[in-house]
Amino acid sequence: MAEASNALFRDSELINQGKGLLIADESFDLSGISAKENIRYITNRKDIDNDLQKMGFDGNLSDFELEDAPDDYFDFILFRLNKSKVLTNYLLVQANRILKEGGSLILTGNNKEGVKSVIKHAEKMGAVVELELLGKGLRYARIEKRAGGEIELDGEEYRNFIQIEDEAQEIEFVSKPGIYGYKKIDEGSIFLAQTLNKDKFSLEGKVLDLGCGYGYLAASVGKNPKIESLVATDCNVASVMVCDHNLKELGIEATVTLDDCGSQLEDRSFDRIICNPPFHQGFGTSQDLTIKFVQNTKRLLRRKGIAYFVVNRFIAIEKVCYDEYVKCTELTGNPQFKILKLERLK
């Protein structure tokens, strides 16, 4: 993943002058990147925002709200292809609007990620003036904006909300593109919610939904009378916005925060943590993410606290727990998922 991100910066002569915009979502890898004063960034993730700020970049943390950027403003835009077709369409439409005539959209991605079709859409804004295969399917394209160029894609779809209904619980949610699994209820989350709700004593005290998404888990357990306070947190701007809306609509009192895996929450402050941790980052799996969630869970749990994780059966999270001095016990499972009870050993 780092190769595609680093390739955005290969034409130093072009990107060292003028006003540039770096688009950085979960597919962007910061390894080997250096800050440049003439390049701003926009990201929808708090963790990436934190890291880019530490590097010395200046930018914007939002749900990619490029509508606020003026027309014909940037000399170049750096875009490492992401997983979401809806988001890609929105970003291409906005890039065509905010690039100056003669400005460049620099696009990288792999063949298996669909980069060739994205390049075909992008060239409608002008012309592909540079196209290289950098090896192992990685493509680098520079598209120059020309007068009259138009991107014929539905960029507005990214701003549309959809409704999701959990018929079993008779709960309705809203969701939107930009949130992981935004069109569905995750089967692992359903399994965890059902397991927790079978035992009214499983949750008590101060409870944290770590990586809340649009709020399904928090909503499913939020009316348990033994919960004294509920906190939900996520690093994704859209997730936090939508989760907060959903919980308020359902009459569930909770504090919803934008945070990098709960890093700003107080140490040892929760009696219970519920979590369906991500094991993908961008187009690949990430062992670092698994470690990060286990480490922060250990830090946030009180002395006799318990965390309940649901993970795909093939994820060897038990090894990570052992390395981090966290007791890990499988409570139940099915062919696809396992529900684990995590407790601090020290």
CA 179, 184, 190 angle in degrees (round to 5)? Answer: 105
Q: Tens digit of pLDDT for each residue in 185-221? A: 999 999 999 999 998 779 999 999 999 999 999 999 9
Q: Are residues 329 and 198 in the same domain?
A: yes
> What is the overall mean pLDDT for the chain?
94
Report whether 249 contacts 259 (CB < 8 A): no
Give the total number of structural domains in the chain: 2
CA 198, 316, 312 angle in degrees (round to 5)? Answer: 45
What's the average model confidence in pLDDT over 328-345?
Answer: 96
Q: Are residues 188 and 110 in the same domain?
A: no
CATH value at residue 194: 3.40.50.150
Q: Are residues 196 and 263 in the same domain?
A: yes
Q: Are residues 217 and 328 in the same domain?
A: yes
Q: Tens digit of pLDDT for each residue in 61-107? A: 999 999 999 999 999 999 999 989 999 999 999 999 999 999 999 99
- 250 pLDDT more than 80: yes
Q: Tens digit of pLDDT for each residue in 304-319? A: 999 999 999 988 999 9
Task: Decide which of 104, 129, 158 is a domain's last residue.
Answer: 158
Q: Are residues 177 and 147 in the same domain?
A: no
- 284 pLDDT more than 50: no
The boundaries of the domain holding residue 56 are: 2-158
Q: Are residues 251 and 215 in the same domain?
A: yes
Task: Decide which of 158, 173, 204 is a domain's last residue.
Answer: 158
Q: Are residues 23 and 140 in the same domain?
A: yes
**Quick one: pLDDT at residue 282?**
46
What's the average model confidence in pLDDT over 125-143?
Answer: 95
Task: Decide which of 101, 133, 158 is a domain's last residue.
Answer: 158
Q: Are residues 194 and 301 in the same domain?
A: yes
Q: Are residues 324 and 226 in the same domain?
A: yes
Q: In what order do the strands lie in the sheet with 337-344?
A: 255-258, 227-234, 205-210, 270-275, 301-312, 337-344, 326-333
Q: Are residues 80 and 175 in the same domain?
A: no
Q: Are residues 100 and 112 in the same domain?
A: yes
Q: Are residues 17 and 130 in the same domain?
A: yes
What's the average model confidence in pLDDT over 262-272?
Answer: 96
Cβ neighbours for 120, distance < 8 A, ≥ 6 positions apart: none
- 281 pLDDT more than 70: no
Q: Tens digit of pLDDT for each residue in 136-181? A: 899 999 999 999 999 989 999 999 999 999 999 999 999 999 999 9
